[in-house]
Structure 1
Amino acid sequence: MKRLKHILIVVIGVVIASQIYFDFLIQDFTIALSVVIFPIFLYNYIELNPIGTAILTGVSCTLYRFIWVYSSNMNFMKTIKITTPQIIFFTIYGFIFYFLYYKSKNKDLTRFILSVLCCDFISNVVEISVRTKIIGENGNMIKALFIVACVRTLMALIILIAMKHYKSFLIKEEHEERYRKLMLMMSSFKSEIYFMNKNASEIEDVMQKSFSAYEIVSKNNYSEELKNLTLDIAKDVHEIKKDYIRVMRGLEEMSDEKIDVEYMKIKDIISILELDTKDYIISKKLNIELDFQAECDFYVSQHFYLVSAIRNLIFNGIEAIDSKKRGVVKLKIKEIGDEYIFIVSDNGTGINESNLDFIFSPGFSTKYDKTGSICRGIGLTLVKDLVQHIFKGSISVESVKNTGTTFTIKIPIDSFRR
């Protein structure tokens, strides 16, 4: 099925290209673009037998041209004489290509180009000999045909090189896109693992308290039912802790194997964030402008955590912008003294002054989803933890209701020393 599809592509492509041509030297002999693209098809569809493909292509081109020529002169024999030599051209081309390139074990580009040159030249000589009924009598014409073969072969080479460069470009773009998505996924992944590690110590504290409660109940005159209940709670918390830690360790092992990049430049990080944010804005059809600027450049070792923190603030800013107005989200990075300053601002709805003291608290959120459920509210808590504990920095916020919000992160330069 795939081979049939490719044959149809070759036939249709060559037939269409055969309509782009110019007359050459003798009457009824044309130089067509089809001879340029035919070898390109053979080069790309290596599973096709060139002999069969060439014959089928020659017949198709001849029939197509026959219709057009006959409709203009209404002379059947004359039309046959004009069009049928084209079948000979493609047939000879297919046989020569089969033995020079298709059957060769060394299928490199040099051999391909030399094979195409021979195919083009010899096939043209045979075709024009059939048309004029002379073989080798016109030296000037032979030279001209060789020049034509060289020109068409050069055109085919240029197209092939362009295609190869374009494919390389697409592959590079695809790899960069995959890396960017993987980078962002891993930043979220590692940040969640960090948060899980923090929760693990809190689970440990709850477990110790539950066992302490059991000991207190056991030493005092409480009912057996209450003793059993406190013991069950302590055991359950212990089992939850074990399962939690096992899952967390497994996730840590998975994340450590995904991307092994020790350092990244801050400008590369910002570029990834900007592309990701633009894709999100376009997908959601938001009326938001981005202004990302990095006035300095430096290497970041804990780049996953930094990406997660900044990305969280950027998307908070996007969510805070009223869909009815032209939104602007800005990110600016600069160096002041012995600190790197990260400023993320938006012109959104702002935060109530009464909430500013609580926005970094665990569980606090001003967001509601469409069902009315409160969001889990760990975003800004996680950002603050990452800034303080990973980078030894600080984060502050300023907000004016209905005007916008600005988050400022300050991190010592020493935290980024290589």
Structure 2
Amino acid sequence: RSIFIGIIGLMIELVADFVELFVQFLVFDTTMTLSKLSDMFLIAFAHSFVVISFFNMMKLYEAQSREKQIMKQNEHMMMVISNLYEETVHLKKTLKHTEHITQESYRLYRLLHEHEAGKKVSQELLKLAGEIHEVKKDNQRIYAGLSKLISKENMQDYMKAEELVQIVLRIQEKYALSLGKNISFISDIRGIHLHDYHVFIFLSLINNLMANAVEAIKDNGMISLVLKGSHDKIEIRIEDDGPGIPEKMREIVFDPGYTSKFDAYGTPSTGIGLSYVKELVKELGGTIKIEQRETKGTAFQLLLPIQNLIQRG
């Protein structure tokens, strides 16, 4: 309502100026000329214009600040949901394992129960199978709750490749700064990207590999993220110029529990990042491999079917 406020301000100032001129006419017997009236109108208009301009500048600044804050909140929420999505993948895998263990425990119970000597052991085994089954049910409840929470958030499940890459780079730049490292990030989007990509799958995969690259670089370095799209698949390449992974270790880096990272007290990390990435890539019907680089550093290549990353019609 800037124009409406400006008109009110102009009218108020004109009335005040008319009153002032009228008082001057009564007291000092001054004359009101057309020139004075036109100057009075121009000055009043200029004052109103300055006030409205300042008001609009303040409103624009406020809107931009609010937009930046909302963008930060959205990025933070996306990362939280992405982490939850990652946990649901681990939990889903655990559910499969507990189901298998329960079935095997009950099978062993049946075998032992048929023999007199094994009846006592079979009862213990049956009790163990029941406890494992209770753990499975608890995990199922947690899995259902997490899945429901992720689907309820649904703030923006699908985004363009350019937007997702910018989010990843901003997050990793902040992470590198928090570790006191000077790392430059390069991105390149090539090929065909006709569809929006699933936000949480994309962030879960890329952030794990990018964060590993940030942690691998000692003080200064460079990380590149390349997306190459086609009609049926997408290739993701993440390269860094860190110390690299020895060739003999490349077969085991995806094993659960493997880690080369330790904190200041010598405590190892969980070692589930790369194993999670491999598990998710496999679930999506894709492949992941570590490529040999001519220079130092590490290069990960992911090939994923496009239909598992885009919204189905």
Given that 2:157 and 2:200 are in contact with CA atoms closer than 8 Å, whether structure 1 keeps it comes out as: no
Question: Could you give the per-residue CA deviations for residues 324-374 of structure 1, whole angstroms, max 9, x where no partner exists?
Answer: xx2111111224796432110111121122211111122222222333333
- Residue of 239, 255, 264 corresponding to 2:134: 239
Specify the SS of the correspondent of 2:234.
Answer: strand
In the TM superposition, residue 213 of structure 1 has moved relative to its aligned partner by 3.0
Given that 1:333 and 1:343 are in contact with CA atoms closer than 8 Å, whether structure 2 keeps it comes out as: yes
In the alignment, does 2:195 pair up with 1:299?
Answer: yes
Given that 1:365 and 1:374 are in contact with CA atoms closer than 8 Å, whether structure 2 keeps it comes out as: yes
* Structure 1: distance between partners of 2:119 and 2:232: 62
Specify the SS of the correspondent of 2:176.
Answer: helix
- Residue of 144, 165, 177 corresponding to 1:270: 165
**Structure 1: any 5+ residue segments left out of the alignment?**
1-107
In the TM superposition, residue 122 of structure 1 has moved relative to its aligned partner by 2.9
In the alignment, does 2:87 pair up with 1:192?
Answer: yes
Specify the SS of the correspondent of 1:299.
Answer: coil
In the TM superposition, residue 135 of structure 1 has moved relative to its aligned partner by 6.8
In the alignment, does 2:211 pair up with 1:319?
Answer: no
Match in the other structure for 1:181: 76
How many residue pairs end up in the alignment?
308
* Structure 1: distance between partners of 2:151 and 2:85: 9
Question: Could you give the per-residue CA deviations for residues 297-348 of structure 1, whole angstroms, max 9, x where no partner exists?
Answer: 342443321221111111110010112xx21111112247964321101111
Given that 2:158 and 2:197 are in contact with CA atoms closer than 8 Å, whether structure 1 keeps it comes out as: yes
Q: Structure 1: which amino acid aligns with 2:183? A: I
In the alignment, does 2:14 pair up with 1:121?
Answer: yes
* Structure 1: distance between partners of 2:116 and 2:126: 15
Report the aligned-residue RMSD: 2.8
Distance 1:396 1:135, change over 3 A: farther
- Residue of 19, 38, 42 corresponding to 1:143: 38
In the TM superposition, residue 253 of structure 1 has moved relative to its aligned partner by 0.6
* Structure 1: distance between partners of 2:71 and 2:236: 25
Distance 1:116 1:336, change over 3 A: closer
Alignment of 1:80-119 (within 5 A): 108-119=1-12
- Residue of 222, 242, 249 corresponding to 2:144: 249
Question: Could you give the per-residue CA deviations for residues 240-268 of structure 1, whole angstroms, max 9, x where no partner exists?
Answer: 11111011101111110102545322122
* Structure 1: distance between partners of 2:117 and 2:294: 55
* Structure 2: distance between partners of 1:206 and 1:232: 13
In the alignment, does 2:148 pair up with 1:258?
Answer: no
Superposition TM-score, scaled by structure 2 size:
0.87
Q: Which of structures 1 and 2 has the bigger CA Rg?
A: 1
* Structure 1: distance between partners of 2:182 and 2:125: 55
Match in the other structure for 1:384: 278
Greater shift in the superposed pair: 288-297 or 179-188? 179-188
Distance 1:221 1:376, change over 3 A: farther
Match in the other structure for 2:176: 281
Specify the SS of the correspondent of 2:217.
Answer: coil
Given that 1:360 and 1:381 are in contact with CA atoms closer than 8 Å, whether structure 2 keeps it comes out as: yes
Q: Structure 2: which amino acid aligns with 1:360? A: F
- Residue of 336, 339, 349 corresponding to 2:243: 349
**Structure 2: any 5+ residue segments left out of the alignment?**
none
Distance 1:352 1:149, change over 3 A: same
Percent of matched pairs sharing the same residue: 25
* Structure 2: distance between partners of 1:337 and 1:155: 55
In the alignment, does 2:48 pair up with 1:156?
Answer: no
Given that 1:214 and 1:230 are in contact with CA atoms closer than 8 Å, whether structure 2 keeps it comes out as: yes
* Structure 1: distance between partners of 2:23 and 2:174: 61
In the TM superposition, residue 155 of structure 1 has moved relative to its aligned partner by 1.1
Match in the other structure for 2:298: 405
Alignment of 1:211-230 (within 5 A): 211-222=106-117, 226-230=121-125
Question: Could you give the per-residue CA deviations for residues 165-207 of structure 1, whole angstroms, max 9, x where no partner exists?
Answer: 2222222222222222222222222122122112211110111
Ranked by relative contact order (alpha carbons within 8 Å, sequence separation 6 or more), the top structure is 2
Q: Structure 2: which amino acid aligns with 1:219? A: E
Specify the SS of the correspondent of 1:295.
Answer: strand
Match in the other structure for 1:373: 267
Distance 1:129 1:343, change over 3 A: same
* Structure 2: distance between partners of 1:287 and 1:314: 15
Question: Could you give the per-residue CA deviations for residues 394-415 of structure 1, whole angstroms, max 9, x where no partner exists?
Answer: 1110357992110011224555
Superposition TM-score, scaled by structure 1 size:
0.66
* Structure 2: distance between partners of 1:364 and 1:154: 67
In the TM superposition, residue 225 of structure 1 has moved relative to its aligned partner by 5.8
Match in the other structure for 1:45: none
